[in-house]
């Protein structure tokens, strides 16, 4: 049987080229102008799965973008790994902050990626990480080491809430049955400090609208005499946090899982440099809920952030006006036991009730999902841990992430299986930001590590 690293070094040039071709297609799910490109990407994923060795590959149409399903069943009595990933990407704006066009991938060296990183939208989130699994399948098939069954489910609407995937999963429980779900759509601490993501935060995303007078008014003639929706909205938003940076929505913390002192001490062992963190972001201080460390604030604590705010005159020069309306988009990151629908209702009631007389407030829920925590005493986690140990020469650190993949908790609910989050990106890879990139080393390391997961998971199951 040909050795894994040998196969990778023989084919790495092609592995990178194939990924670059996939990254050239602007599969922006949020923007309808790109719908043809999103569909082209689905077709290209289908083709790649067929070439990698899947026996069945289907494009499942939905109300939105299609789901690409593939499988290679070698023996019904062996375990089945279900791989999930997404082929859609975030919009690339603001374009002028990119050093090279987002859909014309280039390889550039960086401090953290001395062997080069591929710069393109989706390089890390999630085309690059999803494609590692396609190439790992090719490797296992070609070198005769695929030890179990594998199913792929690659969607095109993760970045817009996975609504159609939720329907597909509920309607295809039998087809998607599996022993473990494997996802690479998160990150790790550093290339020499491997980690496995053991938690994701939940999410509630809402849009708010404050309406004052029925039209825009002269800010001199009416200023001081009517409620200014922008003044009111910003005051209402400011009131959502108290002086300790805790969220003031009544009931918001009721179900928050509090970690024990022991669990917090365990978390604090993960290597982290506050100085390096501040330096990387060019900030002189961190900011957040009193009584918690930075790593706790962005992983085990719930948060509320304004993602965008607009209204009134924002063009060149000055216009003296009191706008009729003001708007904001707000996200709340949730932790285990907080129910996203319940939190959305709490927010809506509180925000609508906290409006003063003279304005009307409307809260429109967007999307959301539950948080997720994966236990580490399972075969799945142990197999993943041993796989990293084999290829990194070090035991990976279990670490909860602040990001969200809302569909993961639904997988557990509908399919009854746990998810293992083997992410190979770095926080500094700039996902959702200009100049997103993915280390070539990370990409190849992922392709190398994944086959060991399959091997150990199968061995530990028998
Ligand atoms: N892959 C990310 C989530 C992620 C990244 C989790 C890094 C942990 C570490 C995913 O594509 C994403 O962006 N999720 C969204 C939520 C979704 C509903 C739009 C998020 O976290 O904002
Ligand atoms: Mn992603
Ligand atoms: Mn994303």
pLDDT per residue over 105-140, tens digit each?
999 999 999 999 999 999 999 999 999 999 999 999
Distance 354 CA to ligand 1 centre (A): 31
Could you tell me if 364 and 378 lie in one domain? no
The DSSP 8-state label assigned to residue 2 in this structure reads -
The sign one gets for the Cα dihedral 176, 178, 180, 184 is negative
State which of 88, 161, 369, 405 you would mutate to test the pocket of ligand 1, scoring each by most atoms of that ligand within 8 A of its C-beta: 405
Decide which of 369, 392, 424 is a domain's last residue.
Answer: 369
Residue 410, preceding peptide bond in cis (omega within 30° of 0): no
416 located within any domain: yes
Ligand 1 lined by 125 (C-beta under 6 Å): yes
Q: Residue 77: exposed, middle, or buried by beta-carbon count in 10 A (0-12, 13-18, 19+)?
A: exposed
Could you tell me if 63 and 154 lie in one domain? yes
Residue 427 CA, closest ligand 1 atom number: 7
State which of 85, 185, 195, 201 you would mutate to test the pocket of ligand 1, scoring each by most atoms of that ligand within 8 A of its C-beta: 185
Separation CA 303–CA 320 (nearest Å)? 35
State which of 64, 91, 158 you would mutate to test the pocket of ligand 1, scoring each by most atoms of that ligand within 8 A of its C-beta: 158
Could you tell me if 178 and 241 lie in one domain? no
Distance 126 CA to ligand 3 centre (A): 7
Residue 126, preceding peptide bond in cis (omega within 30° of 0): yes
Q: Whose CA is nearest to atom 1 of ligand 1?
A: 185
Could you tell me if 389 and 346 lie in one domain? no
Chain mean position to CA 311: 29
Identify which ligand lies nearest to the alpha carbon of 157. 1
Q: Whose CA is nearest to atom 16 of ligand 1?
A: 404
Is the distance from CB of 194 to CB of 139 less than 8 angstroms?
no
| Bridge partners, residue 206, by sequence | 330, 365
Distance 423 CA to ligand 3 centre (A): 13
Separation CA 348–CA 329 (nearest Å)? 13
277 located within any domain: no
Could you tell me if 361 and 250 lie in one domain? yes
Could you tell me if 236 and 114 lie in one domain? no
pLDDT at position 402 is 96
Ligand 1 lined by 185 (C-beta under 6 Å): yes
80 located within any domain: yes
Specify the residue for token string 């003296």: 320
Could you tell me if 86 and 18 lie in one domain? yes
Could you tell me if 114 and 178 lie in one domain? yes
Separation CA 249–CA 245 (nearest Å)? 12
Distance 432 CA to ligand 3 centre (A): 6
The sign one gets for the Cα dihedral 90, 94, 95, 100 is negative
Ligand 1 lined by 436 (C-beta under 6 Å): no
Could you tell me if 109 and 181 lie in one domain? yes
Cα angle, residue 405 at apex, residues 175 and 390 outer, rounded to 5° = 80
Could you tell me if 84 and 183 lie in one domain? yes
311 located within any domain: yes
Could you tell me if 159 and 227 lie in one domain? no
Decide which of 344, 369, 394 is a domain's last residue.
Answer: 369
337 located within any domain: yes
Is the distance from CB of 114 to CB of 186 less than 8 angstroms?
no
Ligand 1 lined by 303 (C-beta under 6 Å): no
| Bridge partners, residue 209, by sequence | 327, 362
Q: Whose CA is nearest to atom 19 of ligand 1?
A: 159
Residue 201 CA, closest ligand 1 atom number: 21
Separation CA 361–CA 414 (nearest Å)? 36
Distance 460 CA to ligand 2 centre (A): 29
Q: Return the CATH number at 246.
A: 3.30.70.360
Residue 367 CA, closest ligand 1 atom number: 18
Separation CA 450–CA 129 (nearest Å)? 11
Full domain range(s) for residue 424: 4-200+372-460
Could you tell me if 328 and 422 lie in one domain? no
End-to-end Cα spacing for the chain:
22
Other CB atoms within 10 A of residue 412 CB? 15
Residues in the chain predicted with pLDDT less than 50, given as ranges, are: none
227 located within any domain: yes
Distance 219 CA to ligand 3 centre (A): 41
Decide which of 369, 390, 419 is a domain's last residue.
Answer: 369
348 located within any domain: yes
In 3D space, the residue among 329, 363, 327, 331 whose CA is nearest the CA of residue 345 turns out to be 363
Is the distance from CB of 297 to CB of 244 less than 8 angstroms?
no
Question: What is the pTM assigned to this prediction?
Answer: 0.94
Cα angle, residue 367 at apex, residues 361 and 373 outer, rounded to 5° = 125
pLDDT at position 1 is 87
Q: Whose CA is nearest to atom 10 of ligand 1?
A: 405
433 located within any domain: yes
Grouping H, G, I as helix, E, B as strand and the rest as coil, residue 246 is coil
Q: Whose CA is nearest to atom 17 of ligand 1?
A: 159
Ligand 1 lined by 195 (C-beta under 6 Å): no
Specify the residue for token string 């841990």: 385
Q: Return the CATH number at 190.
A: 3.40.630.10
Grouping H, G, I as helix, E, B as strand and the rest as coil, residue 366 is strand
Number of structural domains in the chain: 2
């Amino acid at each position: 049987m040909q050795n894994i690293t040998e196969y990778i070094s023989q084919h790495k040039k092609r592995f990178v080229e194939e990924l670059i071709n996939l990254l050239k297609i602007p599969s922006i799910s949020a923007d309808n102008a790109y719908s043809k490109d999103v569909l082209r990407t689905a077709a290209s994923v289908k083709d790649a799965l067929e070439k990698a060795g899947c026996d069945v590959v289907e494009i499942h149409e939905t109300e939105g973008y299609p789901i690409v399903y593939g499988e290679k069943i070698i023996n019904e009595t062996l375990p089945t790994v279900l791989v999930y990933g997404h082929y859609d990407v975030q919009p690339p704006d603001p374009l002028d902050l990119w050093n090279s066009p987002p859909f014309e991938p280039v390889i550039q060296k960086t401090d953290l990626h001395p062997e080069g990183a591929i710069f393109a939208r989706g390089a890390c989130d999630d085309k690059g990480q999803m494609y590692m699994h396609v190439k790992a399948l090719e490797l296992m098939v070609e070198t005769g080491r695929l030890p179990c069954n594998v199913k792929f489910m690659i969607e095109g609407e993760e970045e817009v809430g996975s609504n159609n995937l939720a329907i597909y999963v509920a309607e295809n429980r039998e087809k998607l049955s599996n022993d473990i779900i494997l996802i690479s759509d998160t990150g790790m601490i550093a290339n020499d400090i491997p980690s496995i993501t053991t938690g994701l935060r939940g999410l509630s995303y809402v849009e708010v609208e404050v309406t004052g007078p029925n039209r825009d008014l002269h800010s001199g003639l009416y200023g001081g005499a009517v409620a200014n929706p922008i003044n009111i909205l910003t005051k209402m938003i400011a009131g959502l946090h108290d002086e300790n940076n805790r969220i003031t929505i009544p009931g918001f913390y009721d179900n928050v899982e509090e970690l024990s002192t022991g669990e917090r001490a365990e978390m604090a062992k993960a290597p982290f440099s506050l100085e390096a963190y501040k330096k990387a972001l060019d900030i002189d201080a961190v900011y957040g809920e009193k009584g918690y460390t930075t790593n706790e604030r962005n992983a085990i604590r719930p948060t509320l952030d304004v993602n965008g705010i607009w209204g009134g005159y924002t063009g060149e020069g000055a216009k003296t006006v009191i706008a009729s309306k003001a708007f904001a988009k707000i996200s709340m990151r949730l932790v285990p036991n907080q129910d996203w629908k319940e939190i959305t209702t709490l927010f809506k009631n509180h925000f609508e009730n906290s409006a003063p007389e003279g304005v009307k407030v409307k809260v429109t829920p967007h999307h959301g999902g539950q948080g997720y925590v994966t236990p580490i005493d399972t075969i799945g986690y142990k197999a993943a841990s041993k796989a990293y140990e084999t290829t990194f020469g070090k035991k990976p650190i279990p670490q909860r992430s602040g990001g969200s993949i809302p569909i993961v908790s639904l997988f557990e609910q509908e399919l009854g299986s746990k998810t293992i989050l083997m992410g190979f990106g770095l926080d500094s890879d700039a996902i959702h930001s200009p100049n997103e990139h993915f280390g070539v080393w990370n990409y190849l390391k992922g392709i190398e590590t994944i086959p060991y997961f399959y091997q150990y998971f199968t061995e530990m199951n028998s």
